[in-house]
Chain A
Amino acid sequence: MSWHKTPIALMAKALAAKEVSSTELTQYFLDRIEAGKQWNAYLDVNAHLSLEQANKADQLISSGKAGKLTGIPVAHKDVFVTRGWKSTAASKILSGYQSPFDATVVANLGIPDENNPHGAGMVCLGKTNMDEFAMGSSNENSAFGPVLNPWNAAHVAGGSSGGSAAAVAAGLAPIATGTDTGGSIRQPAAFCGLTGIKPSYGRVSRYGMIAYASSLDQAGPMGKTAEDCALLLSAMSSHDSRDSTSLADSGEDYGRYLNQAWNEGSTNSAKPLEGLRVGLPKEFFAEGLASDVAKSVNEAAKLLENLGATLIEVSLPKTKLSIPVYYVLAPAEASSNLSRFDGVRYGYRANEYRDLGDMYAKSRTEGFGSEVKRRIMIGTYVLCHGYYDAYYLQAQKIRRIIAADFQAAFNQCDVILGPVAPDVAWRLGEKSKDPVQMYLEDIYTLSTNLAGLPAMSVPCGFNTNNLPIGMQLIGNYFSEARLLQVAHQYQQASDWHLRQASEVA
């Protein structure tokens, strides 16, 4: 059985029917991880611990105490702290670090115990590679080497959840967690042919997520289908009193609309999306968008129209400004968050130093990579006396305009459709020398993080070099279940999400 091609929705049925055990599934993926090291998707694997968890999951299943996800393996982005596996955020400064506790996301998905009675019972396969502290758009900024794209090893997997994306695309995990600060779930999902969703800000607890930019960071699932993402997101999200920005628990089943028509009660099965208004922002289809990406996204819009949706042109006039606004606000927050890495309480400490100040500076200089240092310096600069109003406050004011622009668009439509990124996965090294070139690649994803809106990436085609293309669906606050419904209906009528890279047997 090719379990690596099986969506977790079907895997759950096979586990419930005892066609396979969690131990067998876990061993299957551990073997694939061992054989698939060339993608550099994982930073830490502990087969003994994974199999111990699988054994516990099998006991839950045989005693009739299993939930929907019990026994299914999952890979966690290295930004989530985990007991038993190393947690480094792909940085030398945290090299070898082991957390004494689990992040809430890890606990929510993990094996239940007395401290964690509501765990979903999933088995942790290990920690996936990422851009250091989630800073990057290509996964070339990891202190432990770049992740390669399973569709073409000469190309990037996307960042910063590139390890999670490559792990699922190469069949080294059935599903994975990621985080999205400026597009870091959606863009690697698009580059690797996966489905991924960044939920509304506050839906998923950030407790135990190593912080980059706290007002933008949000965790979400990356998998093969919208249905799989709905299953994982329902288990990941909860109210958490340890995260003051965590919202009251809605207890939502994000998959509740998947097989329903957009208009409840509609019986036209050929047009399940009748009544859905899809907004196409003209700024998302302007200069800078690769023609093959534009073509695929337009064809996807056409398919949604065939399913009954109405296409409407909308405008998000401040789209271009989301780049400078993001690259002021995110580094400002990062410079503050990363000040905790000083070599005193945990992490790397330089071997030689003169005094306390010198120890801080040498530990940080030797421990952080160049992109992280660059963003810390940008953040420090924009928060400096004399520049604060011109940069930081101005960016926050434009952030309000960007959020308001979305509300104006949502007066006209139910979901917004556009590309995830201006182009497909680029070649390794192609943009590393020029940070501004790299930052421009985030143009279509940044604005939703600034506004805190949910958005997802759905496979919608390939370019002429057989590299995946993703479309982006953006919804209004707390409309995740509706976004997943649209994506699921699209996936019932298309097969882009089922394609496998030829290099992945």
Chain B
Amino acid sequence: MKLDDVQRIAHLSRLELNQAEAEAVLPQLQAIFSLVEEMQAVDTTGLEPLAHPILFLRDLAQPMRADQVTESDHRSENMQSAPAQQDGYFLVPRVIE
């Protein structure tokens, strides 16, 4: 991993790092990824990835719920924490000129 990679993943993560911050985080990320490299020595040929512990217990069916409308309108409560709003809509900078 290089400094360019740090800036690239920061950008993809919607984060901003100045030069000094990127330089500080680079060795930390390098150390973490050298730890992660230890995984490469494991032979996992033919193994299915396990995304979720429940999937490990094949006999454990996840309960399904009925396809019904259960939620009522909470618009005014949900808008209370909005940083900026107008007429019941979230306000953001203009996207289309």
Q: Are A348 and B56 in touch, CB under 8 angstroms?
A: no
Q: How far is the CB of A339 from chain B (nearest CB, A)?
A: 8
Q: Are A364 and B14 in touch, CB under 8 angstroms?
A: yes
Which A435-466 residues have a C-beta within 8 angstroms of B? 435-436, 439, 450-453
Once bound together, how far apart are the Cα atoms of A376 and B70, in whole Å? 33
Which range holds the interface residue count of chain A? 35 or more
Q: Are A348 and B39 in touch, CB under 8 angstroms?
A: no
A201 at the interface (CB under 8 A from B): yes
Once bound together, how far apart are the Cα atoms of A339 and B62, in whole Å? 27
Q: Are A347 and B15 in touch, CB under 8 angstroms?
A: no
B28 interface neighbour in A101, A374, A393, A477, Cβ under 8 Å = A374
When C-beta atoms are compared, the residue in chain B nearest to A98 turns out to be: B81
B42 interface neighbour in A343, A376, A393, A401, Cβ under 8 Å = A401
When C-beta atoms are compared, the residue in chain A nearest to B16 turns out to be: A365
B48 at the interface (CB under 8 A from A): yes
A244-B62, A435-B32 in contact; A450/B13 too (CB < 8 A)? no
Do most interface residues of chain B lie in helix, strand or loop, or is the interface mixed?
loop
A431 at the interface (CB under 8 A from B): no
Size of the B side of the interface (Cβ < 8 Å), in residues, is 51
Once bound together, how far apart are the Cα atoms of A282 and B93, in whole Å? 58
A390 at the interface (CB under 8 A from B): yes
A245 at the interface (CB under 8 A from B): yes
Once bound together, how far apart are the Cα atoms of A343 and B81, in whole Å? 10
Q: Are B81 and A347 in touch, CB under 8 angstroms?
A: yes
A397 interface neighbour in B29, B38, B47, B83, Cβ under 8 Å = B47
Kindly supply a per-residue 1/0 record for chain B positions 44-55, scoring 1 wherever the CB is within 8 Å of any chain A CB and 0 otherwise.
Answer: 100111111110
When C-beta atoms are compared, the residue in chain A nearest to B41 turns out to be: A321
Q: Are A377 and B6 in touch, CB under 8 angstroms?
A: yes
When C-beta atoms are compared, the residue in chain B nearest to A202 turns out to be: B54
Q: How far is the CB of B88 from chain A (nearest CB, A)?
A: 13
A201-B54, A397-B50, A401-B44 in contact; A321/B81 too (CB < 8 A)? no
A373 at the interface (CB under 8 A from B): yes
Q: Which of B15, B38, B95 has the most CB of A within 10 A?
A: B15
Q: Are B16 and A362 in touch, CB under 8 angstroms?
A: yes
Q: How far is the CB of A454 from chain B (nearest CB, A)?
A: 11
Q: Are A100 and B80 in touch, CB under 8 angstroms?
A: yes
A257 at the interface (CB under 8 A from B): no
Kindly supply a per-residue 1/0 record for chain A positions 209-220, scoring 1 wherever the CB is within 8 Å of any chain B CB and 0 otherwise.
Answer: 000000100000
Q: How far is the CB of A371 from chain B (nearest CB, A)?
A: 10
A345 at the interface (CB under 8 A from B): yes
Kindly supply a per-residue 1/0 record for chain A positions 77-115, scoring 1 wherever the CB is within 8 Å of any chain B CB and 0 otherwise.
Answer: 000000000000000000001101100000000000000
B20 at the interface (CB under 8 A from A): no
B83 interface neighbour in A343, A361, A436, A477, Cβ under 8 Å = A343
Give the 7 A-B CB pairs with smallest separation, nearest first.
Answer: A452-B53, A396-B49, A349-B83, A100-B77, A397-B44, A346-B81, A400-B50
Footprint of B on A, CB under 8 Å?
97-98, 100-101, 201-202, 215, 239, 241, 244-248, 318, 320-321, 323-325, 327-328, 335, 339, 342-349, 353-357, 359-362, 364-365, 368, 373-374, 376-382, 384, 390-391, 393-401, 403, 434-436, 439, 450-453, 477
Footprint of A on B, CB under 8 Å?
5-6, 9-10, 12-17, 25, 28-29, 31-32, 35-40, 42, 44, 47-54, 56-57, 60, 62-63, 65, 70, 74, 77-78, 80-84, 90, 92-95
